[in-house]
Amino acid sequence: MVKERLFVRFLRKIVKNDSMVTDPTEVYNWRVYLLACASCFGGMLFGMDIGVIGGVLQMDSFKSAFGTDKLNKSDLANTNANIVSCLQGGCFFGSLIAPWFADKFGRKPALLIFSAEYQSNGIIVFDDRFVAGLGVGAATMINPLYVSENAPRAIRGLLTGLYQLFETAGIMLAFWINYGSLLHVGGHGAWQLSLAMQCMPAVLLFFGMLLCDESPRFLATKDRWEDATAILTKVRMLPESDPYIQAELAEIHAQLEFEAGIIAGASYWARVKEMFSEKSKAQFIVGISRLIPLLTPLGNRKRALLSIALMVWQQLTGTNAINFYAPQIFNNLGITGTKNGLFATGIYGIVKMVSCFCFLLVAVDSLGRRRSLIWTSIGMGMCMFYIGGYICADPPQPGQPVPGAGYFALVCIFIFAALFQFGWGPVCWIYVSEIPTTRLRGINVSFAAATQWLFNFAVSRATPVMLVHVGRSGFGTYFIFGSFNFAMCVFVWFLIPETKGISLERMDELFGAEKLPSEGIDLTTAAKDRRAFTEKQELADVEHLENV
């Protein structure tokens, strides 16, 4: 038997699911990581904008250039909210138009088109932010879709979650670019350099995708089976005759054949109608009150509604309130001065990226989706309540040293960032890209991404106003987000099934099963077939050696 590569042995130590045991080691090769990393520069595109704009708004040179230094607190909050939320408006529409491009031309061409569109905007302020948002919104829809359709099922969570890692890397880079440009460039060049650097991920995305192939599942939907087979064998680094390749192709074929029999040749709007048209049934789930009636529609509608709901909750955690307005929030906690605030945001960015990396490396395909979401929502809620309680009881005074309780509030910001990266950051994108059927995956992810951007817009628009008007120094803002975090825990407990280690084509079994969300489903048929083949092959090898 060929000795396992060091990296595969490492993967098997950190990824604990059935597919990791049954699937061949060849599928965990450099090609699959290349395509995942190349496409996920779209996440860095989003992260760079999140990180840059909040710091730029606090720079004195930017304030003087656009006259915001002459506004009162309330008008300044509204102006900043308008500047930030312009991009989210474009992202909302970008995520809705992206499925047409992705389904018409393919995942790869769509990413190339929208990355080129983003680069055409140069230094992005005001109206240009809306146009740039079209590219960012489209990337958020297509990136997870493309990666999930190419990833081996055992590490699908790890690879799809790279989108979140690249996003946090973009946030971190942006924070330090702001700090460095203010420290070493100064003047109007500081904010101009920061805004110009936002184009860097778009360039990397464009040239990275030129090195990648189209999704084999997309090619299969276009009846290009020879191309799909060739790319699948290339990405998996296995011969076409290998049972794993044959099993994966058979699953794709069976899924598409089933879908074609239902709505062959359906238009975009017909598929949207199909996604939401199923009848629902009332299911009684034993809970705290022993009998809680919940609406749990089966199949496609359930997957669509869960995808949308997860993205709503993701934004209501309050993470982007901190991401966009971190310097202002740190100032409310007693960190005064623009440079000090930007330095604190830089540390915050490092915490986010390192936490996301650790989660993807050791937990995403072992800990599971449900457990990650449940425990992190509780921890984030506790952090938000402590910060709100501290600001309410003992608000920082200008010119006064920060007390110990204040420093712990700062630590809670960092703990919140780490917990978000261990749950609601990467897991939501992983989940919504893996649960839909092949035929509806693009539309499902599109609706989820559009929902994310709609509520991202609402949060980014409301947060600066809330920090001024909801309680002294905005302490009520943290109580509101904290309450949402605790509510999310209840939602996940009752309604989110576990999906780790399940192939994309087997999701129908999970969402059509008459089971409580916590039960999941058994090991897939493909995994059993592969295990049987592997055991048979090992036995044959032993017999061959004995005969020799």
| DSSP codes of every residue in 339-386 | HHHHHHHHHHHHHHHHHHHHHHHHTHHHH-HHHHHHHHHHHHHHHHHH
Mean pLDDT for the stretch of residues 85-96: 83
Q: How far apart are CA 173 and CA 167, in angstroms?
A: 10
Percent of the chain whose predicted confidence (pLDDT) is above 90: 16
Give me the residue label for tokens 């690249």: 166
Q: Is the pLDDT of residue 456 over 80?
A: yes
Cα–Cα distances (Å) from 73 to 404, 432, 470, in that order, read 28, 39, 13
Q: Is the pLDDT of residue 102 over 50?
A: yes
Cα–Cα distances (Å) from 41 to 107, 124, 469, in that order, read 14, 18, 37
Eight-state DSSP code of residue 284: E
Cα–Cα distances (Å) from 463 to 274, 315, 470, 476, in that order, read 36, 12, 10, 11
Q: How far apart are CA 140 and CA 94, in angstroms?
A: 9
Which one, of 444, 426, 433, 442, lies nearest residue 365 by Cα? 426
Mean pLDDT for the stretch of residues 192-208: 88
pLDDT band at 337 (very low <50, low <70, confident <90, very high): low
Mean pLDDT of the chain: 79
For residues 531 and 510, the answer to whether their CB atoms sit within 8 Å is: no
When comparing pLDDT for 293 and 510, which is higher? Answer: 510
Q: How far apart are CA 401 and CA 176, in angstroms?
A: 25
Eight-state DSSP code of residue 515: S
Cα–Cα distances (Å) from 38 to 43, 44, 111, 124, 477, in that order, read 10, 11, 10, 24, 37
- H or E segment at 293? strand 292-295
Q: Is the pLDDT of residue 1 over 50?
A: no
Which one, of 128, 87, 100, 118, lies nearest residue 206 by Cα? 118
pLDDT one-digit tens code per residue, 484-502? 999 999 999 998 888 877 7
Cα–Cα distances (Å) from 112 to 33, 164, 202, 453, 478, in that order, read 19, 20, 9, 21, 39
β partners of residue 282: 295
Bridge-based pairing of strands 282-285 and 292-295 is antiparallel
Residue 420: predicted pLDDT: 92
pLDDT one-digit tens code per residue, 504-521? 667 777 776 444 444 444
Residue 383: predicted pLDDT: 93
Contacts of 397 (CB under 8 A, 6+ apart): none
Q: Is the pLDDT of residue 529 over 80?
A: no
**Looking at this protein, which amino acid is placed at residue 296?**
T
- H or E segment at 194? helix 187-196
Segment 70-78 long-range contacts (CB within 8 Å, at least 24 positions apart)? 73/468, 74/465, 74/468, 74/469, 76/464, 77/464, 77/465, 77/467, 77/468, 78/464, 78/465
pLDDT one-digit tens code per residue, 141-177? 888 889 988 888 888 878 887 888 898 889 889 888 8
Domains identified in the chain and CATH numbers: 27-219+287-511 (1.20.1250.20)
pLDDT band at 20 (very low <50, low <70, confident <90, very high): confident
